[in-house]
Amino acid sequence: MTMADTIAVMSGGRIEQLGAPSELYERPATAFVAGFLGVSNLLYGTVSGGDSIRLDAGGELRVSRTALAGKSGRVAAGVRPEKIRIGPAELNRLDGRVTERAYVGVATQYMVDTAHGPIQVYVQNLEPGVQDGLPGGSVTVSFSPEAVFVVPRTQEVGA
């Protein structure tokens, strides 16, 4: 990612996506590319408007119109762990229970069990001390519509 201006991600002998490293990371075209370039939380649902997805497990997810451009039907909405906050600060919110917490120096990693499946959250350790979200505790995680990318829902992601 740091050595190339353009990257081609291939699967099964075919190009899944070709583009700049930031484009592939921030706006992957497929679930394979999203997973190949890092951790992605995928939430499954159906496009229900120009800026929304009705999630399979209930509720609506707001996304940018750009992320939904040309997409319809069943999709997977993705959000990277570092783009999620613990707390209800952003428009998209999911309630859950912390199942794991690991301090890794620069960040604390959380696993949060939600009705939509497990969600990984990376919280940067900006201040000294212990972060909120002890294992077993209830939390709300949130993220902005601009943090969401949308990919087709394929057999390899559980369609």
Q: What is the pLDDT of residues 17-65, one digit of tens each?
A: 999 999 999 999 999 999 999 999 999 999 999 999 999 999 999 999 9
Residue 109 pLDDT class (50, 70, 90 cuts): very high
Identify the CA nearest to 148 among candidates 73, 21, 88, 60.
Answer: 60
Q: What is the 3-state secondary structure (H, E, C) of 78-117?
A: EECHHHCEECCCCCEEEEEEEEEEEECCCEEEEEEEECCE
pLDDT in the model for residue 132: 66
In the predicted model, what is the mean pLDDT of residues 81-110? 94
- Taking the C-alpha atoms of residue 133 and residue 99, their distance in angstroms, rounded to an integer, is 9
Site of tokens 């996506």: 17
Residue 115 pLDDT class (50, 70, 90 cuts): very high
pLDDT in the model for residue 47: 97
| Domain annotation for the chain: domains and CATH numbers | 1-38 (no CATH), 39-157 (2.40.50.100)
What mean pLDDT, rounded, does the chain reach? 91
